[in-house]
Amino acid sequence: MSAKAVELILLRQLLSRLPLPATLVDADETVIYFNPATERLLGLDWETMGERPLSYLPEVVNPRQSDDSAMGVDDMPLAKALHERRPQQYRMIIHDSQGIRRRIVTTAIPLDGQGGTLLGALNFFWEENEAQEPVMP
Amino acid sequence: MKVTFWGTRGSLPSPRPGTTRYGGNTSCVEVRTSDGSVLLLDAGSGIHRLADFGPGVTRVDVLLTHLHMDHIIGLGFFGALFQPELEVHIWGPPSATLELRARLSRYLSPPLFPVRLTDLPCKLMLHDAPRGTFDLPGASVTADLVCHPGPTLGYRLEADGATLTYIPDHEPALGDTGFLSSKEWTSGFSLMTGADLLIHDSQYTDEEYPSHVGWGHSTISQTMGLAEAAGVGTLAPFHHDPGHNDVLLDRLFSTALESGDWSFEFSPAREGTTLTLGRHATVRS
């Protein structure tokens, strides 16, 4: 058993206290954490779900493009940030544990460590309020 | 592997009558392996006592955990740097902005110090310590970042069939309400696991910690818990708070030892003492 990189450990500690939903994946494409704000928004329980491959996420949240077309796992912002090592910002649709549609805006960033080591990726997301101005085209 | 404590104090050199037993010099630990290799862990004020490494020693490796002043303040007074025949390798944590030479030169240059790094007569070589395992003369070294303000490394040294882990500045409990509930999520845990000797930060008491959260240090009781969870052979509490005198440290360590049924040997770091490591055997001299 090896401990997580300290950057991921500190990020998890920070995320656990933020009111903004967030998800953390490691460089092996394993979802290693989502925070209590995510649990509240999506009706999920991290302790029950535990670490899962990123490829499992579509089964959990059924992601869709903003026009309601299908979104594969590789098109999810978190996966793109990890694969392309560039920040991603999307408007999209996910579903909570009751199957209720949630229009969200999400920002995903790759986590580059020292010496160019890829540690994983992080995304924040928040539910879009119809009254808000669009965040991006 | 012989491990000698030349500086055990944290934060600030604290020589005074009340600190003579545990010591007043800041972090410096000498490691001698059976083939005669010399590795030094940090360059606090304790390093000034080291100058003569004996016959046959042509190279010294200095492993810096980080560049806070108490861990490098002795560099300018390190005798090896002034010996032209000696090869001195200094390893330190990588930075995203400046190379190690530039960062050390902030101290080792006027106006803070009269002699520049470039003027030192020894054969000086500076290295960013790789994150992972690398070989040095006499020992295999594993370095990893640990929780402390600024880039800070912990080191695990394997030599002569024994393992030493050195994490002098470390706050794994920072913000973690479930501290030690998951080893996988505990900073530095891989470095510590199964070490024959763990030299670890134990700066604060439980009462002092709440007003020092985020300063980068552990309490004695947190360190005891870490050592137990990591299954180490011997724990050497280290980086003693400059405000804690010998009498108080005796009392704190005695209380800590009596607080549980610990599976490790307990040997608080004292300046000038040597521990000899074999496989699961530690002898103080």
- Per-residue pLDDT tens for B121-151? 999 999 999 999 999 999 999 999 999 999 9
Contacts of A36 in chain B (CB under 8 A): none
Backbone φ, ψ for residue A131 (5° rounding): -80, -10
> Is B194 inside a domain boundary?
yes
**Sequence-distant contacts of A91-95: CB under 8 A, at least 24 apart:** A91/A66, A91/A128, A91/A134, A91/A135, A91/A136, A92/A63, A92/A64, A92/A65, A92/A66, A93/A63, A93/A64, A93/A65, A93/A66, A93/A68, A94/A42, A94/A61, A94/A62, A94/A63, A94/A64, A94/A125, A95/A61, A95/A62
Distance CA B233, CA A87 (A): 45
Contacts of B185 in chain A (CB under 8 A): 3-4, 9, 12
Per-residue pLDDT reduced to its tens digit, B71-91: 999 999 999 999 999 999 999
pLDDT, mean of residues A75-90 = 96
This prediction has a pTM of 0.91
> CATH code at B196?
3.60.15.10
Q: What is the pLDDT of residue B176?
A: 74
- In sequence order, the β-bridge partners of residue A20 are none
Q: How many residues does chain B have?
A: 285
A4 touches chain B (CB under 8 A): yes
> Is B158 inside a domain boundary?
yes
> Is B282 inside a domain boundary?
no
Comparing CB atoms, the residue among B151, B176, B184 nearest residue A3 is B184
- Of the candidates A12, A45, A18, which has an alpha carbon nearest to the alpha carbon of residue A120? A12
Q: Is A2 helix (H, G, I), strand (E, B) or coil?
A: coil
Q: How far is CA B234 from the centre of its chain?
A: 15
Torsion of CA B38, B141, B92, B189, to 10 degrees: -130
- Of the candidates A9, A108, A102, which has an alpha carbon nearest to the alpha carbon of residue A61? A102
> Is B285 inside a domain boundary?
no
- In sequence order, the β-bridge partners of residue B84 are none
When the pLDDT of each residue in chain B is averaged and rounded to a whole number, the result is 95
Q: How confident is the model at residue B278 (pLDDT cuts 50, 70, 90)?
A: confident
> Is B283 inside a domain boundary?
no
Residue A93 has pLDDT above 90, yes or no: yes
Contact across the interface for A6 and B151, Cβ inside 8 Å: no
**Sequence-distant contacts of A84-92: CB under 8 A, at least 24 apart:** A84/A110, A85/A110, A85/A112, A85/A118, A86/A110, A89/A135, A89/A136, A90/A66, A91/A66, A91/A128, A91/A134, A91/A135, A91/A136, A92/A63, A92/A64, A92/A65, A92/A66
Complex ipTM more than 0.85, yes or no? no
Contact across the interface for A1 and B184, Cβ inside 8 Å: yes
Comparing CB atoms, the residue among A6, A13, A14 nearest residue B145 is A6
Contacts of A10 in chain B (CB under 8 A): 147, 174-175, 187
Q: What is the pLDDT of residue B178?
A: 77
Considering only residues 95 to 114 of chain A, which have any Cβ-Cβ distance to chain B shorter than 8 Å?
A: 113-114
pLDDT, mean of residues A42-68 = 94
Domains of chain A, start order: 6-127 (3.30.450.20)
| Chain A closest-CA separation from residue B182 CA (Å) | 9
Comparing CB atoms, the residue among B176, B183, B187 nearest residue A1 is B183
Please say whether the beta carbons of B218 and B176 come within 8 A: no
Per-residue pLDDT reduced to its tens digit, B164-223: 999 999 999 987 777 888 899 999 999 999 999 999 999 999 999 999 999 999 999 999
Q: Is B45 helix (H, G, I), strand (E, B) or coil?
A: helix
Considering only residues 35 to 54 of chain A, which have any Cβ-Cβ distance to chain B shorter than 8 Å?
A: none
- Exposed, middle or buried, B183 (CB in 10 Å: 0-12/13-18/19+)? middle
Contact across the interface for B131 and A114, Cβ inside 8 Å: yes
How many structural domains is chain B composed of?
Answer: 1
> Residue B180 belongs to what domain range?
2-277
pLDDT, mean of residues A114-127 = 92
* Residue of A7, A10, A13 to mutate, interface with B, max B Cβ within 10 Å: A13
Q: Is B229 helix (H, G, I), strand (E, B) or coil?
A: helix
Scanning B213-245, the segments in alpha helix (DSSP H) are 220-230
Distance CA B191, CA B205 (A): 24
Per-residue pLDDT reduced to its tens digit, A3-54: 899 999 999 999 999 999 999 999 999 999 999 999 999 999 999 999 999 9
Q: What is the pLDDT of residue A111?
A: 97
Q: What is the pLDDT of residue A137?
A: 41
Contact across the interface for B144 and A12, Cβ inside 8 Å: no
Q: What is the pLDDT of residue A1?
A: 64
Residue A59 has pLDDT above 70, yes or no: yes
- Of the candidates A23, A22, A27, which has an alpha carbon nearest to the alpha carbon of residue A5? A27
Contact across the interface for A2 and B184, Cβ inside 8 Å: yes
Distance CA B53, CA B80 (A): 9
Contacts of B183 in chain A (CB under 8 A): 1, 3
> Is B284 inside a domain boundary?
no
| Chain B closest-CA separation from residue A135 CA (Å) | 31
Per-residue pLDDT reduced to its tens digit, B45-69: 999 999 889 889 999 999 999 999 9
Contacts of B177 in chain A (CB under 8 A): 16
When the pLDDT of each residue in chain A is averaged and rounded to a whole number, the result is 91
